[in-house]
Amino acid sequence: MKPLDKDDAKGVIVPAQGGGWVRLAWKGEKLGPERLSVEMWMASQDSGSVQRLELPLFLVEPVRVEPRLAQVGFLGQGRIKSEVEILCWSCTRRHFRLTPEVPEDDRLSPAAGRCRSARMSARDCRRRPCRRKTRS
């Protein structure tokens, strides 16, 4: 294998009856539809045919959380308990470990809560959206 720099104009010579492969790499910095492509020239860069390879993909967040912000309201005399449910799921992993915990700074607070996690059913997971609406 000979890696090429993005601007490497020399390329790689593949002998007759030979073979090779192309690896595309990307950072995935923005969500939504993306099309990666590379042009490979046959024979010389200045002459000969060109073959374009394309990889259409749709980038999603590895873990989704709803709601993104959960408010429990005012806790005080007469209202000392509240519950909030936050759903977490992955569009790229069938199983992943989720370990909820109260931040260290909040553990001494009398209002500090307890966190627990429970696995969502496969049916509930399938009903969760994996594609967030993207701006055109």
Domain that holds residue 26: 1-59
Chosen domain end from 43, 59, 75: 59
Residues 69-87 pLDDT 10s = 777 777 677 776 777 888 8
How much is the average pLDDT of 16-37? 84
Q: Find, among 61, 62, 60, 57, the residue nearest to 34 by Cα.
A: 57
pTM value > 0.75:
no
Residue 33: pLDDT over 80 = yes
Report yes or no: 57 and 128 within 8 Å, Cβ to Cβ. no
Q: In this predicted model, which residue has the larger pLDDT, 112 or 54? A: 54
78 phi, psi to nearest 5 deg = 90, -20
Q: In this predicted model, which residue has the larger pLDDT, 14 or 7? A: 14
Q: In this predicted model, which residue has the larger pLDDT, 35 or 96? A: 35
127 phi, psi to nearest 5 deg = -80, -10
| Domain count of the fold of the chain | 2
Least confident of 8-12, 107-111, 115-119: 107-111
* 135 within a domain of the structure (yes/no): no
Chosen domain end from 59, 91, 109: 59
- Please tell me whether residues 49 and 74 are part of one structural domain: no
Q: Find, among 47, 55, 45, 49, the residue nearest to 22 by Cα.
A: 55
| Banded pLDDT at 136 (limits 50, 70, 90) | very low
- Please tell me whether residues 3 and 35 are part of one structural domain: yes
- Please tell me whether residues 72 and 55 are part of one structural domain: no
Chain-wide mean pLDDT for the chain?
Answer: 77
Chosen domain end from 13, 37, 59: 59
pLDDT at 31: 87
- Please tell me whether residues 102 and 50 are part of one structural domain: no
